[in-house]
Amino acid sequence: GAGVSQSPRYKVAKRGQDVALRCDPISGHVSLFWYQQALGQGPEFLTYFQNEAQLDKSGLPSDRFFAERPEGSVSTLKIQRTQQEDSAVYLCASSSYRDSGYTFGSGTRLTVV
């Protein structure tokens, strides 16, 4: 596609509920990143994929967070048993190779109530 597409745009979850956030990167982009952005903060790195391989997941805040990219294109970020501190905007970005600037999607704003 022309840009990075994320869905849903907004998600309200009750505490304890599981959520799945989807990212469809730019066609042909090898690298895919997930970031978390809290209000008034810069994006914080969560995880990185090169094709279908998850090469870095050091930023995932707990084992409740899980990401996958099984066919090397669409990626899903799953958060289990959501907590209020998970409320943030989740940004997906892709790039044609790792050492270049990223193109971000519009993000998913998650609110846990």
Binding site residues, another protein, CB under 8 A: 33, 35, 40-45, 48, 56, 58-59, 91, 98-99, 101-107
Residue whose CB is less far from another protein, 1 or 14: 1
Residue 86 backbone dihedrals phi, psi, to 5 degrees: -80, -10
Give the whole-angstrom CA distance, residue 93 versus residue 58. 17
Lookup: tokens for 104: 């971000």
Residue whose CB is less far from another protein, 82 or 108: 108
Shortest approach of another protein to residue 91 CB, angstroms? 6
Shortest approach of another protein to residue 16 CB, angstroms? 28
Is residue 107 within 8 A of residue 23, CB to CB? The reply is no
